[in-house]
A and B are shown apart, each in its own frame.
Chain A
């Protein structure tokens, strides 16, 4: 059977591979490069930990973790990682000589481990150094700030001492204290201060609490002073930088000091030993400063070495990541295989497109050569009655539109693919709603530039952009069709074009009065006559036109949908359904809505004011089609001659109505009856279960199953045999008349009601195109048309500004917003109104192993 492009999914085969365990790795990597086999999990009951290659996966995971660590480091240091394409030449995994493969992996494992360890060490030492540096910085601040406290305290001391010297100084003490002073006075000004103190830093947020606690604990027996350190400190354990305060507490007695120390440590403060001697403080400050400088040097060189290391790693990191990713895929694929330990082979099963089996054979042979053995893996095609996965062969043009269809549901294997028709119909329906030459031109411009520069633009990694980029060909089609429909609506950003001779002429009349155009003997050939543009009753005309157009297009679209049932019925061997379902559905749809379309076109093509030879109008007034449709149901067989569309209308309508009513029981009864009769026939032949009804095909199936079942017994305890019996059970479903009838009743009611509601749903084409036209007119009159009347400099400026506003809003509102909403509605139309007529969407997608 040949493939039919996008019309049906590709023909698939279930294949079985016997892979000698030494070539397994090479085989999978070849098949992964090829990317057209979807492997089945042959040990679904085995947990991930019990599988054959769990240890390899663990090792690859470890490597993956290291690579992520390296990436995180790159991110932190802002080292750019070389992109994969340019990184590959730096790594000699390119050819991946399979014999050296495992060895390479070992090397890579070692390399990654070394890099991680080295970086880990560097990070560790960097952090310790940084911590030391921070401590020193704090010490520096403490030294500086406390110097201020001491200076202040000295000033006060002088005053205090002055008063002591002058007045009540005891005589004896005087000598003593003076001697004491002279002993220590030159060293410091605090000699008499035998208050002792504690100095340190604490977080600013904790300061208030700290103060209060100290006050309570020491009962006020302290003198505390603090200063804020202006620049905040970086705390590696926290997100935000921390701002700290320097404090110094004077208190008396060793016990109290010990208490203060304890409290401040418990509050997270750091204490620094400070000498009360100014010179010594000066000295230690100098020491601290020099140490800070040293540390800064060391830190700089550490970070430089780390950076060089990272830059070196960055050269090939993405290539390593790629290798590891592939490796992981290979091992998890191999875990799905069954291991035959006696014959040392892996048994794999999977789906592949039938016409690519040749390529797969070649790949297998290549893999065997690479692995250095002359026993290539054996490929065998299995016969099965399981549903194969659905594989639509798309290319870059069709991928986006096929994806739109697939996101509603994946087609059943070999079911008619709506994506093929959506390729044109969805952009067209979009265009009916988006018809405006100017906006469509902008869209086409954007889309075509994306198509022209696709190679360059493909590299841009931005979520929103890549979404548009993915749908660029769809956008191009939408833009082109919208330009066409814009031409039909004669709408260029709410203006019109006068390309041909108009069918209307404006007569001379007094200005300010209502003028009615005179009809000339010609019709505007392409699109809406510009004579309608700006007319007071233009909306009356365009609304009537667009509404009728929506109904016509909708009925055509739905008719196509119903017709697409035919290839499905024929392909799945249910030709009887053509008579049981397709014909009544078609008759029902056409006798009601096809007739409506006919009436619309008939009314358009009749000249209702045509006169006979003597100049009398011989036809009745044009009938109202809505009333016609209503009275067709209410008073069948009775047409008011004043409202007559054509002679013999009553008979035709009665006939159509009867047809439609006959179709309903036809749809209801035919399918259940035929299914019941077939069931009786099978019963009559003496078969019991449906599973054995297939006849000769079944035997071959069983052979195939036996093959895999036998392997299962050799290997992991009959997993293959188990899956075989599962398959048999799936096939055995009882024929239940009740279920069939209920299903058919629902199906029929759904179809009949949907015909009505879906036709109404197509009116969104009218609504959206009306909204688009009105919005662009409002935008024009609100922005740029106001600026046209002005003159002079103000006029120039206003025009420039108004144009900018108009242009930007045109793009944002009319192209982007309106475009998205039109897209949404057209997607709905192809999903629901079109798809529900034929699309079962009960399949599952083909997901091959692909690197």
Chain B
């Protein structure tokens, strides 16, 4: 997986958001449902993308001194 994953997922999230935006039925809660779904998706995408990007090209490597081998 490369950095392009971020873009693909973004496209996916945007697609889902747009679908929800269009398909939300009219009514007193239309605005609420649209906003909630879109903002929840955005937040979750941002979070995932930040964690993913931070590990894409790591600058430091994990070190530990307590490694044991089972065999």
Contacts and interface: CB of A to CB of B under 8 A. Distances in A.
Interface in A465-524: 481, 484-485, 488-489, 503-504, 506, 508-509, 511-519, 522-524
B18 interface: no
A485 B31 contact: no
B66 to A, nearest CB: 8
Interface in A553-573: 553, 556
Contacts of B58: 503, 519, 541
Going nearest first, the 9 A-B pairs with the smallest beta carbon separation are A5-B31, A535-B62, A604-B53, A424-B39, A607-B57, A428-B43, A545-B54, A514-B65, A549-B50
Range class of the B interface residue count: 35 or more
Interface residues of A, number: 66
Interface in B2-54: 3, 5-6, 28-32, 35-36, 39-40, 43-44, 46-48, 50-54
Contact of A511 (B3, B29, B50, B67): B67
Contacts of A535: 62-64
Contact of A540 (B46, B60, B64): B60
Contact of B65 (A523, A536, A605): A536
Contacts of B67: 506, 509, 511, 515
Contacts of A541: 58, 60, 62
Contact of A528 (B5, B55, B63): B55
B48 to A, nearest CB: 6
18 contacts: A5-B31, A5-B32, A6-B31, A420-B32, A428-B39, A511-B69, A513-B65, A515-B63, A515-B65, A524-B55, A528-B55, A534-B64, A535-B64, A537-B60, A537-B62, A545-B50, A605-B6, A622-B59
A704 interface: no
A384 interface: no
Contacts of A420: 31-32, 35
A425 B56 contact: no
Contact of B32 (A6, A504, A525): A6
Contacts of A398: 32
A702 B55 CA distance: 68
A604 B57 CA distance: 6
Nearest to A610: B57
B46 A504 contact: no
A422 B40 CA distance: 11
Nearest to B66: A534
Contacts of A6: 31-32
Nearest to B50: A549
A637 interface: no
Interface in A1-40: 3-7
Nearest to B30: A5
A600 to B, nearest CB: 9
Given A4-B31, A514-B63, A516-B62, 14 more contacts: A420-B31, A424-B43, A517-B63, A523-B55, A525-B5, A531-B62, A532-B62, A534-B64, A535-B63, A541-B58, A544-B54, A553-B47, A605-B6, A608-B59
A601 interface: yes
A505 to B, nearest CB: 10
Contacts of A516: 61-63
A395 interface: yes
B50 to A, nearest CB: 5
A594 interface: no
A541 B57 CA distance: 12
Contact of B40 (A424, A522, A604): A424
Contacts of B44: 481, 484
A605 B3 contact: yes
A88 to B, nearest CB: 30
Contacts of A518: 61
Contact of B57 (A544, A556, A605): A605
Nearest to B56: A523
Contacts of A622: 59
B52 to A, nearest CB: 7
Given A420-B32, A421-B35, A523-B56, A552 B46 contact: yes
A488 B48 contact: yes
Interface of A: 3-7, 393, 395, 398, 420-421, 423-425, 428, 432, 481, 484-485, 488-489, 503-504, 506, 508-509, 511-519, 522-529, 531-532, 534-538, 540-541, 544-545, 548-549, 552-553, 556, 601, 604-609, 622
B57 A525 contact: no
Contacts of B30: 5
A537 B56 CA distance: 18
B53 A504 contact: no
A353 to B, nearest CB: 12
Contact of A549 (B47, B55, B59): B47
B7 to A, nearest CB: 11
A608 B36 CA distance: 38
A395 B31 CA distance: 13
Contacts of B48: 488, 526
A395 to B, nearest CB: 7
Count chain A CB atoms within 10 A of each CB in B31, B47, B59 and give the residue with the most.
Answer: B47
Nearest to B40: A424
Nearest to A395: B29
A11 to B, nearest CB: 13
Contacts of B51: 488-489, 527-528, 545, 549
B71 to A, nearest CB: 10
Contact of A425 (B39, B50, B52, B65): B39
A638 to B, nearest CB: 25
B63 A425 contact: no
A511 B68 contact: yes
A466 B21 CA distance: 35
Contacts of A513: 65
B60 to A, nearest CB: 6
Contacts of A506: 64, 67
Contacts of B46: 552-553, 556
A518 B66 CA distance: 16
A488 B61 CA distance: 19
B61 to A, nearest CB: 5
Nearest to B36: A424
Given A420-B35, A424-B35, A508 B63 contact: no
Contacts of B47: 432, 484-485, 488, 549, 553
A256 B13 CA distance: 105
A504 B63 CA distance: 11
Nearest to B41: A424
A529 B44 CA distance: 18
Nearest to B53: A604
Contacts of B66: 534
Nearest to A423: B36
B32 A423 contact: yes
A606 B31 contact: no
A481 B44 CA distance: 8
Contacts of B50: 545, 548-549, 552-553
A398 B29 CA distance: 10
A517 B61 contact: yes
Given A5-B29, A488-B47, A511-B67, A423 B35 contact: yes
Contacts of B40: 424, 428, 481
Contacts of A606: 57
A631 to B, nearest CB: 20
Nearest to B57: A607
A605 to B, nearest CB: 5
Contacts of A511: 67-69
Contacts of A485: 47
B56 A604 contact: yes
Count chain B CB atoms within 10 A of each CB in A420, A432, A523, A534 and give the residue with the most.
Answer: A523
B55 to A, nearest CB: 5
B63 A523 contact: no
A605 B60 contact: no
A393 B29 CA distance: 10
Contacts of A531: 62
